């Protein structure tokens, strides 16, 4: 049930937060990018839009900042990120709420996203003392071989609306300790949270004292701005999060100039519910993964393979949960499903459901909900769709709360179906059978970058490397050794002998 609470207007709420977080009034104007809230579909304000020329100038500035920053000892660079984490802790309530206002996610998820930023800052601070290389056995006596990791340059960060602040921080926190400078081009659908984060970063930089100017820049605008960033040879790394369509354009453009890209693109994540699964736990795990964030995570659960022996009762329970879940204003306590980001997202959901029906799917749920919350606000009823097989929309990522359910009999066969989609981000199996769990995690199991057991595919912690295979783009961000993606490696061979032996036994006597 929805608990109705009275709220001030979304716009008033958002503008007050921006002021408290120190966003300068000059960042907002009468024209530029329209900032809307999906909660009521109304305009919050306009954000000053940057030109391609401004982007080119910013890249020059960021490059100069990198030239200075790369000389700063990494643990000192970590101190800046420590201060960023400190400022984020102080801003958590406000920034989390702003994420709710701008992206429409429920309050606990808005706060969770800011926590994810704090976590990656802590991780990066530790990492700043561990940017280590190997010492490697050499075939020549009196020699030593080792590798050194150096800052790579300017890192361009392109982010999506659905994690409007955390994805910047996964990249920025690591890039900054690695000695890179960063330029951020956020989604046009989330310009306000970006302004807030930049103000928070600027405060951390002021406390730090001698960070070079232009170390972390924010530029707002559309496609042309992104293209300028992507095509500039001074941008050593482009880390882009968004659709596979976007990645298909960004990847080759960066490659054409021999730049490096880190791509985190679409997912079409699945879960398998095996006969031995703890079904209550599976139900809860699946509900969060499929309906949380209104299905608008790249890790959202979209496909469910359920063993025929447990399918009937499980699908009935799932349909009941789907029918009773609270949809509404994400600021209300008790709401679990907030709005979709815009009308286009709702239309895509409806189109996918219509296509699923035409392919023999049985749809439970779907359709518009909570029209009382605004003509231009698009709340959708989550949908469970029983599909005869994996076809049509099941093979695509639709950024909406649709869960396609298919039955299976044999684990090996279902793993083949599981992997038979173009995307390869996140996956999970619910089973208490060790053989099944290990098979799913083995080389012959899931082909995804994230493979979970007895939890859903979404909601990863920052300590692990995050990303996926195939059309998901292959990039890894966040934890583990993802930091290496933000540095360049030098292999050093040092001769401390008086002789000059050549490798591979080559002789060259002059
Ligand atoms: C995304 O949707 O782009 O694993 C990122 C998760 C979150 C990040 C999602 N930690 O669901």
pLDDT in tens, 77-101: 999 999 999 999 999 999 999 999 9
Give me the DSSP letters along 280-323: HHHHHHHHHHHHGGGG-STT-EEEEEEEHHHHHHHHHHHHHHHH
Mutation choice for ligand 1 from 169, 264, 299, CB with most ligand atoms inside 8 A: 299
CB of 299 closer than 6 angstroms to any ligand 1 atom: yes
What is the spatial distance between Cα 460 and Cα 113, in angstroms, rounded to a whole number? Answer: 11
Q: What is the mean pLDDT of residues 284-299?
A: 98
Distance (angstroms) between ligand 1 centre and the Cα of 347 equals 23
What is the spatial distance between Cα 25 and Cα 388, in angstroms, rounded to a whole number? Answer: 55
CB of 241 closer than 6 angstroms to any ligand 1 atom: yes
What is the spatial distance between Cα 215 and Cα 62, in angstroms, rounded to a whole number? Answer: 6
Q: Are 389 and 344 in contact (CB under 8 A)?
A: no
Catalytic residue chosen out of the listed positions 264, 386, 436, 471: 264
Q: What is the mean pLDDT of residues 407-411?
A: 98
Over 50: is that where the pLDDT of 1 sits?
Answer: no
What is the spatial distance between Cα 352 and Cα 359, in angstroms, rounded to a whole number? Answer: 11
What is the spatial distance between Cα 199 and Cα 216, in angstroms, rounded to a whole number? Answer: 11
Q: Which of 162, 161, 164, 182 is nearest to 172 (CA)?
A: 182
Instruction: Tell me the average pLDDT of the chain.
Output: 97
Distance (angstroms) between ligand 1 centre and the Cα of 264 equals 10
pLDDT in tens, 453-510: 999 999 999 999 999 999 999 999 999 999 999 999 999 999 999 999 999 999 999 9
Cβ neighbours of residue 412 closer than 8 Å, sequence gap 6 or more: none
- Amino acid 5: pLDDT: 56
- Amino acid 6: pLDDT: 64
265 phi and psi, to 5 degrees?
-110, -150
CB of 399 closer than 6 angstroms to any ligand 1 atom: no
Distance of CA 388 to the CA centre of its chain: 31
Over 60: is that where the pLDDT of 4 sits?
Answer: no
- The residue whose C-alpha atom lies closest to atom 7 belonging to ligand 1 is 459
Distance (angstroms) between ligand 1 centre and the Cα of 180 equals 24
Q: What is the mean pLDDT of residues 393-400?
A: 98
Q: Report the nearest atom of ligand 1 relative to the CA of 300.
A: 11
The single-letter DSSP state of residue 377 is -
Distance (angstroms) between ligand 1 centre and the Cα of 412 equals 28
pTM of the predicted structure, to 2 decimals:
0.97
CB of 298 closer than 6 angstroms to any ligand 1 atom: yes
CB of 398 closer than 6 angstroms to any ligand 1 atom: no
Q: What is the mean pLDDT of residues 412-426?
A: 98
Mutation choice for ligand 1 from 110, 189, 466, 472, CB with most ligand atoms inside 8 A: 466
264 annotated active-site: yes
What is the spatial distance between Cα 431 and Cα 434, in angstroms, rounded to a whole number? Answer: 8
CB of 460 closer than 6 angstroms to any ligand 1 atom: yes
What sign for the dihedral angle of Cα 449, 452, 458, 463? negative
Percent over 70 (pLDDT), the chain: 99
CA atoms within 13 A on the CB side of 231: 10
Cβ neighbours of residue 332 closer than 8 Å, sequence gap 6 or more: 2, 3, 4, 5, 326
Q: What is the mean pLDDT of residues 194-215?
A: 98
- The residue whose C-alpha atom lies closest to atom 3 belonging to ligand 1 is 298
Q: What is the mean pLDDT of residues 169-178?
A: 98
Q: Are 363 and 370 in contact (CB under 8 A)?
A: no
Q: What is the mean pLDDT of residues 27-52?
A: 96
- Determine the number of helices (DSSP H) and then strands (DSSP E) in the chain: 13, 24
Distance (angstroms) between ligand 1 centre and the Cα of 460 equals 7
pLDDT in tens, 235-252: 999 999 999 999 999 999
Over 90: is that where the pLDDT of 3 sits?
Answer: no
- The residue whose C-alpha atom lies closest to atom 1 belonging to ligand 1 is 298
What is the spatial distance between Cα 101 and Cα 195, in angstroms, rounded to a whole number? Answer: 14
- Amino acid 8: pLDDT: 78
């Amino acid at each position: 049930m929805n608990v109705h609470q009275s709220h001030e207007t979304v716009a008033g709420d958002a503008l007050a937060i921006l002021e408290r977080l120190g966003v300068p009034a000059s960042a907002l104007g009468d024209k530029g990018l329209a900032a809307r809230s999906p909660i009521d579909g109304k305009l919050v304000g306009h954000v000053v839009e940057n030109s391609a020329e401004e982007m080119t100038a910013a890249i020059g500035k960021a490059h100069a900042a990198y030239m200075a920053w790369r000389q700063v000892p990494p643990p000192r660079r970590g101190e800046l990120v420590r201060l960023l984490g400190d400022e984020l802790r102080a801003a958590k309530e406000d920034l989390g709420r702003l994420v709710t206002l701008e992206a429409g996610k429920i309050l606990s998820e808005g706060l969770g996203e800011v926590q994810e930023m704090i976590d990656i800052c802590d991780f990066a601070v530790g990492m700043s003392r561990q940017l280590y290389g190997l010492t490697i056995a050499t075939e020549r006596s009196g020699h030593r071989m080792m590798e050194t990791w150096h800052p790579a340059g300017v890192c361009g960060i392109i982010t999506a609306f659905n994690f409007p602040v955390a994805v910047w921080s996964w990249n920025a926190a690591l890039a900054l300790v690695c000695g890179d400078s960063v330029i951020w081009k956020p989604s046009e659908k989330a310009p306000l949270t970006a302004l807030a984060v930049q103000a928070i970063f600027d405060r951390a930089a002021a406390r730090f004292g001698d960070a070079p100017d232009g170390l972390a820049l924010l530029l707002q605008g559309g496609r042309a701005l992104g293209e300028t960033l992507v095509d500039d040879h001074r941008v050593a790394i482009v880390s882009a999060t968004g659709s596979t369509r976007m990645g298909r354009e960004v990847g080759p453009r960066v490659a054409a100039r021999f730049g490096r890209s880190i791509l985190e693109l679409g997912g079409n994540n699945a879960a398998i519910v095996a006969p031995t699964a703890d079904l209550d736990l599976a139900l809860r795990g699946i509900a969060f993964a499929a309906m949380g964030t209104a299905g608008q995570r790249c890790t959202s659960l979209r496909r469910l393979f359920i063993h025929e022996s447990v399918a009937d009762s499980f699908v009935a329970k799932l349909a009941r949960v789907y029918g009773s879940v609270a949809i509404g204003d994400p600021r209300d306590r008790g709401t679990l499903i907030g709005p979709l980001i815009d009308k286009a997202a709702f239309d895509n959901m409806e189109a996918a459901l219509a296509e699923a029906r035409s392919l023999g799917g049985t749809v439970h749920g779907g359709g518009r909900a909570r029209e009382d919350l605004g003509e231009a606000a698009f709340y959708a009823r989550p949908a469970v769709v029983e599909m005869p097989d994996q076809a049509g929309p099941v093979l695509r990522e639709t950024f909406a709360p649709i869960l396609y359910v298919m039955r299976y009999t044999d684990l090996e066969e279902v793993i083949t179906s599981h992997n038979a989609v173009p995307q390869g981000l996140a996956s999970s199996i619910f089973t208490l059978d060790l053989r099944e769990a290990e098979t799913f995690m083995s080389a012959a199991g899931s082909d995804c970058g994230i493979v979970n057991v007895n939890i859903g595919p979404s909601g990863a912690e920052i300590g692990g490397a995050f990303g996926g295979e195939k059309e998901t783009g292959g990039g890894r961000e966040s934890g583990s050794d993802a930091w290496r993606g933000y540095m360049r490696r030098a292999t050093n061979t040092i001769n401390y002998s008086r002789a000059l032996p050549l490798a591979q036994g080559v002789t060259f006597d002059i």
